[in-house]
A and B are shown apart, each in its own frame.
Chain A
Amino acid sequence: NAGVMQNPRHLVRRRGQEARLRCSPMKGHSHVYWYRQLPEEGLKFMVYLQKENIIDESGMPKERFSAEFPKEGPSILRIQQVVRGDSAAYFCASSPPGQGQPQHFGDGTRLSIL
């Protein structure tokens, strides 16, 4: 039973480029969450999605960041015009339907901005 799948594992971008991070939830999980972990800092919630719906985006920066979870295919976290401060580990988690269900994390994407 495959876990949460994220790709790529490592992504290098130059300032001003776009970064696309992908996440496929565990089988049977319909809820997807994105978190960011900056160096030497804790995990910070970014966005919570269900299929074709953004449920909570209270942690998303107001500009350059967007997320989607289409009817078909993985969830995508998109960062436009990346800056050095975007360098971080981006983790996706998924959970089954229902309140308070445990979230299981993928291996993350390490984003480095040159």
Chain B
Amino acid sequence: QKEVEQNSGPLSVPEGAIASLNCTYSDRGSQSFFWYRQYSGKSPELIMFIYSNGDKEDGRFTAQLNKASQYVSLLIRDSQPSDSATYLCAVKAGGGNKLTFGTGTQLKVEL
């Protein structure tokens, strides 16, 4: 079992729709959760981070965390073509600061 799992996609959504990206993790001791966006050939860009169960909203982005189910998700409202990228889920286990990344979900927002 991979430590951090994401569906590789591609996930295709029409412009203006809600994109839902999901991530599961195996280490119950994980404490911090991050979403990064990576355009092809570019570096990861921090989108959201969440530490507590529940929802956290920032503009068009909402991160959701359920530690009991070991599940974290990212919702993108009013999806735009510029949101087309690979979204990386990253998890920090308790103790230490290294991030463990999923392989990413490719999102395509279609006109």
A binding-site residues for B, Cβ under 8 Å? 31, 33, 35, 41-45, 48, 55-56, 58-59, 91, 95, 99-108
B binding-site residues for A, Cβ under 8 Å? 31-32, 34, 36, 42-46, 49, 51, 88, 90, 92, 96-104
* Contacting pair A55 B45 (CB below 8 A): no
The total of interchain contacts (Cβ-Cβ below 8 angstroms) comes to 60
* Contacting pair B32 A100 (CB below 8 A): yes
Q: What residues on A are CB-neighbors of B31 within 8 Å?
A: 99-100
* Contacting pair B97 A43 (CB below 8 A): no
Q: What residues on A are CB-neighbors of B44 within 8 Å?
A: 43, 91, 105
Q: What residues on B are CB-neighbors of A59 within 8 Å?
A: 98
Q: What residues on B are CB-neighbors of A42 within 8 Å?
A: 88, 101-104
Q: What residues on B are CB-neighbors of A45 within 8 Å?
A: 98-100
B36, B96, B100, B102: the one contacting A56 at CB < 8 Å is B96
Complex Cα distance A106/B34, Å? 17
* Contacting pair A102 B96 (CB below 8 A): no
* Contacting pair A100 B51 (CB below 8 A): yes
